[in-house]
Amino acid sequence: MDVKKKPISKLFLYRHRFGIGYFLLGLAFVTLLFTLPLFTQQGLSEAEIESATSSYYLDFDSAITGNIVDLPYKLLQKSSIMIFGLTAYSIKLPSIIIGLLLGILLILLLNRWFKNNVSLLASCLVILSTPFLYLAGSGTPLIMLVFWPTFLLWLGSKIQGEQKPKPLYSIIFALALLLAVFTPYMIYFAIISVIFAITQPHLRFVLKSLPKIPLIITGLIVVSGLAALIVNIINNGNTIADLLASRNLTPEIFWNNLKAGLRPLLAWRTNVESIFLAPLISLPTFAIALIGLFSTTKGFFASRNSIASLLIVFTLIIAGFNSNAIIFFILPLSILTAHGLKYVLEKWYGLFPENPYARVSAIFPLIILFGLILIPSLSQYIFGYHYNPSLANSFTNELSTVRKNLTDETLLVPENKSAFYRIIENSSDIKIITQLPEEKLEHFASLGKLDNLVSSYQLSRIITSAKSDNSDIIYLYTAKGE
């Protein structure tokens, strides 16, 4: 019986290779995203504590008179803390959720601009990288700096790439652009986006062809939001300075911030003082992105080619405002990495246009290359925040120690930490005080040792953490017998 071999294009694994690849990538990404914050950073940073405190005490009238900087993120973080109580995970949960959306948006954006093989490989390198995982696991609004431009670029590609774009996309784009201006430096990005939409012929045509009623509704929403923003700026003078990053900014400070931001970006052989693990970009990924940058020079004025270069310039500018804003480099890096992979694969396939074995053989060096990039990157993220002294000591696990060891005790905290720890009172039986009352307590706990303790109390126990430095977290005191 003559049995013909089934062509490779008919095989199930071949036909569904990209679907399987995206499924495995998504599974790995979601698993890492929701589990790594539990055992990577040992506790909370000062920025996370400040963010949680600011979010929880956010008033309903903040849109008019309060601090509206990062308002969308703070509302989400406030909701998380109110629902789940004050824990390290509830503080980080908004970034985890936004990180999940950001990862999906990056995959969708790359998938619209590049073929499936290129977008899948580039997505693996970016969303499984150390800086992306850190950004998605840090309970601060820093992630919004990358989220809004990525969301706007994807929406823009949906509007520009369709002959008859749905009006809903335009409405969502306008709303996203409005919400984005609450994030520092995004006003500049919004202005650039509006100018680009007006000057780009195809986008002008798309805007003119949209139904008038959705455009009128969108305009009213934008005008209302901008009016609220203007009123807030009038009532709170610091708002505009925080959004534009112009407070106390001098050329010298700008230059120092830029240098501080660039140090962890390319520090492959030395440790630097930064909230990010150095290097921010691995050497192989940087080499691929560099190839992508050179490959875009031929068609620079094509939209997606020029966007990557403009985003690099934008990254350098906002890094001068705030050195931590260098993390925005994730967005142009993902685009340039895709360009680099596209260039390398095209050159390889161009050498063997009719040889299927040569095409298949490219899989093995790609597997080795990706293994050499991803495995060290994940190891660096998992162990770096544990054992890198400059980073491990910037996180405190006071909160987790308190939640684990105290149930209904009275906890004495310093005045500068009282606002943060008073949040616990709403979700537990712990009572927070900043000074000992006149009446004698049977027992109480204190964050840190009390040097000037009155003679009526004695130390009964010290609760420590697993850290080698500053491990004594809680001191338990009991009243002395009369």
Quote the pLDDT of residue 125: 85
Quote the pLDDT of residue 1: 43
Quote the pLDDT of residue 283: 81
Quote the pLDDT of residue 228: 75
Between CA 57 and CA 109 the distance in angstroms is 36
**b/e map of 229-241 (b: 16 or more CB within 10 Å)?**
beebeeebeebbb
Give Cα separations from 27 to 24, 30, 100, 255, 417 (angstroms).
5, 5, 11, 41, 39
With a cut of 50, list the residues of the chain below it in pLDDT.
1-3
Q: Residue ranges of the domains in the chain?
A: 8-259+343-392, 405-479
Quote the pLDDT of residue 7: 56
Q: Residue 289: name the closest of 230, 233, 373 by CA.
A: 373
Per-residue pLDDT tens for 404-442? 888 888 888 888 888 999 998 887 888 988 888 878 888
Continuous segment of H or E residues that includes residue 463:
strand 457-464
DSSP states along 19-51: HHHHHHHHHHHHHHHHHHHHHSS-SEEHHHHHH
Quote the pLDDT of residue 52: 92
Question: Is residue 185 helix, strand or coil?
Answer: coil
Quote the pLDDT of residue 126: 86
Residue 34 near residue 86, CB atoms below 8 Å: no
Quote the pLDDT of residue 2: 46
Question: Is residue 152 helix, strand or coil?
Answer: helix
Backbone angles phi, psi at 175, to 5 degrees: -65, -45
Per-residue pLDDT tens for 92-107? 999 999 999 998 899 8
For residue 285, give the amino acid letter.
Answer: T
